[in-house]
Structure 1
Amino acid sequence: MRGTNQSSVSEFILLGLSTQPQQQQLLFLLFLSMYLAMVLGNLLILLAISVDSRLHTPMYFLLSNLSFVDICFTSTTIPKMLTDHLLGSQTISFAGCLTQMYFLFLFLDMDNFLLAVMAYDRYVAICHPLHYSTKMTHQLCVLLVTGSWIVSNMDVLAHTLLMARLSFCADNVIPHFFCDITPLLMLSCSDTYINEMLILIEASLITIGPFICILVSYILITYAVLRIPSRKGKWKAFYTCGSHLSVVSLFYGTIIFLYFNPSSSHSADSDIAAAVMFTVVTPMLNPFIYSLRNKDIKGALGKVMAMKVLMTQQ
């Protein structure tokens, strides 16, 4: 993934979340618990949607894709961190670092696109309910998800190739628990102007673009809901969007803080805190947010649990 004469650094050292042994033990248990909760929660969402035919709709098709992406997203960083703690190793190869960065931002971009598509789905459902089945077809959903994968791969490939051309001469210590773009750029002894410009362009097109789509969708949704005469109807319409709005707020809040500032304004502690939020906490909370506020998901999960009880009794 890089030329042999482009870098004298063959591996990086990931400092992790803490250098204190007592804190490391506590953080290991905490992150192991959160990772298992994230995987279990999202797997239950996938299982509930797959077994209940009533949930074979565009909204739940998109939600199942979001759950799958969240599992992959968190699995690019946390298992490596937990394994390093058990083995007492903090190193990652240059190629491994670029690979981790590639998949991390691939799934991050997919989260971004899926949230925008889900906002469009809610817009059609509330603003054009009579035409929902003709507008949000299965073919359209598959096309939107496939297009998101293609665009995400192209975007992340450009970042990875530009990162691979940089030189890393001496310092190879990354004050982070995964290979993030900003710490790598700060370690490089090459000119990183092109990389930083690509981040700004990518932020405008890949991040702000879907975010604007979400804002426009909810402005139109709000306008449509305010025209509903009954208070009960207004509350029901807003309630259906509550879960998605909660996830959007968590996701974009940390992304904007972490990546929309110049590298010179970043501090290690604030970067790590924000990274923990969007790599672990948000994917862990997503299934709980959707399941606790959704009667259909709770009903499907109840069926899954009942089936499991019957199977164990037999």
Structure 2
Amino acid sequence: MEWFNSALGRNITFVRPPYFKIGGFGEVPNIGYYFAFLFCIYILSFVGNTVVMTIILLDYRLRSPKYIVVFNLAFVDLLSSSTMVPKTLDIFLFNHRTISYSDCLAFMFFCFIFISMQSFNLVVLSYDRLIAILYPLHYHVKVTHKRILYLIAFFWIFSVTTTFCAVTLLTRISFCKSVVIKSYFCDHGPMVRLACNDITPSMVMSGSLPILKLGCPLVFIVATYCCIGYALSKISTFQERMKAFKTCTGHLSLVAIYFFPILVVQITF
């Protein structure tokens, strides 16, 4: 652990710029026209998630374990969009690409928590679909309120703890190469690459967190649907297979909507 302690550099004065510049939108043409589109999407997301949460709270028939996860997913999606969209709208409308050092770290902290929680909620929903199709007679035994709440609580604690460690390590970095973050928001990896001192702990976090929070959940979901597909192939009639598969279409749509933009961002940067 000596390398870790030395990298933290407790007696070192770190170079912390007053602001960073978001450089991901630099080559987007006519960026101001995207404001109306993104604003409408945000309003629809805000209203839609609010309606979903309200219906689940008011309708006692929707107090099943599955809808606890759906409520948490809508809640996290609402917080995530409310964290990311306002700054993006500010860039689109006023071309304000700068963000202060402290605001950037706070933005990253909350943004990464909500992004990872969306991923973990999809994992819990895939577990729900797996049990419902493979073990329908044992569904109410294996998928209980208590078990789902424990899973959600564990993922919240894991997301907050790991994100806090990653952001805390960034405060021990000297930024003396540039203040331009080559991403669409205050992203961890592009910020680490701006450092000029020992960044080994931050690089470890930068490499491991995407695997733990995005890669592993995606692998689990894919493996889940491989098992579901195998189970559906054993059903005798086509109508029954389609009936069972239709219960998964909503979840599959959410998986595609969530992971596709993230993969695009990772490939781009």
1:203 shift after superposition: 3.2
1:57 aligned to which of 61, 64, 67: 64
Q: Check the 8 A contact 2:76/2:118 in 1, yes or no.
A: yes
- Equivalent residue number for residue 112 of structure 1: 119
2:232 aligned to which of 220, 225, 236: 225
AA in 1 matched with 2:111: L
AA in 2 matched with 1:111: Q
Residues 249-288 of structure 1 correspond to what in structure 2 (within 5 A)? 249-259=256-266, 270-271=268-269
AA in 1 matched with 2:42: Y
Q: Check the 8 A contact 1:8/1:170 in 2, yes or no.
A: no
CA-atom RMSD in angstroms: 2.5
What percentage of residue pairs aligned between the two structures are identical?
32
AA in 2 matched with 1:55: L
1:201 shift after superposition: 2.2
- Equivalent residue number for residue 147 of structure 1: 154
Pair 1:102 & 2:109 matched: yes
Count residues in correspondence.
260
- Equivalent residue number for residue 236 of structure 1: 243
1:27 shift after superposition: 1.7
TM-score, length basis structure 1: 0.75
- Equivalent residue number for residue 192 of structure 1: 199
SS in 1 for 2:30: helix
- Equivalent residue number for residue 190 of structure 2: 183
Alpha-carbon separation, structure 2, partners of 1:29 and 1:201: 36
1:123 aligned to which of 120, 130, 141: 130
Alpha-carbon separation, structure 1, partners of 2:203 and 2:264: 16
1:17 aligned to which of 11, 20, 25: 25
Relative to structure 2, which stretch is displaced further, 22-31 or 78-87? Answer: 78-87
SS in 2 for 1:92: strand
Q: Check the 8 A contact 2:16/2:101 in 1, yes or no.
A: no
Pair 1:216 & 2:249 matched: no
1:53 shift after superposition: 2.4
Q: Check the 8 A contact 1:16/1:81 in 2, yes or no.
A: no
- Equivalent residue number for residue 181 of structure 2: 174
Alpha-carbon separation, structure 2, partners of 1:19 and 1:225: 46
1:170 shift after superposition: 5.2
Alpha-carbon separation, structure 2, partners of 1:255 and 1:87: 25
- Equivalent residue number for residue 78 of structure 2: 71
Alpha-carbon separation, structure 2, partners of 1:80 and 1:255: 18
Q: 1:8 to 1:65 in 2, by over 3 A?
A: closer
AA in 1 matched with 2:62: L
Alpha-carbon separation, structure 2, partners of 1:204 and 1:87: 35
1:214 shift after superposition: 1.5
Instruction: Show structure 2 runs of 5+ residues with no match.
Output: 1-8
- Equivalent residue number for residue 15 of structure 2: 7
Alpha-carbon separation, structure 2, partners of 1:8 and 1:222: 52
1:128-154, Cα deviation, whole Å (9 max, x unpaired): 111111211111111111001001111
Instruction: Show structure 1 runs of 5+ residues with no match.
Output: 262-269, 272-314
Alpha-carbon separation, structure 2, partners of 1:149 and 1:112: 11
AA in 1 matched with 2:72: N
Alpha-carbon separation, structure 2, partners of 1:226 and 1:165: 54
- Equivalent residue number for residue 40 of structure 1: 47
Q: 1:169 to 1:242 in 2, by over 3 A?
A: same
AA in 2 matched with 1:104: C
Alpha-carbon separation, structure 1, partners of 2:256 and 2:68: 21
Q: Check the 8 A contact 2:189/2:206 in 1, yes or no.
A: no
1:145-167, Cα deviation, whole Å (9 max, x unpaired): 10010011111112111211111
Alpha-carbon separation, structure 2, partners of 1:251 and 1:196: 25
Q: Check the 8 A contact 1:98/1:160 in 2, yes or no.
A: yes
Alpha-carbon separation, structure 1, partners of 2:130 and 2:102: 42
Alpha-carbon separation, structure 2, partners of 1:15 and 1:198: 23
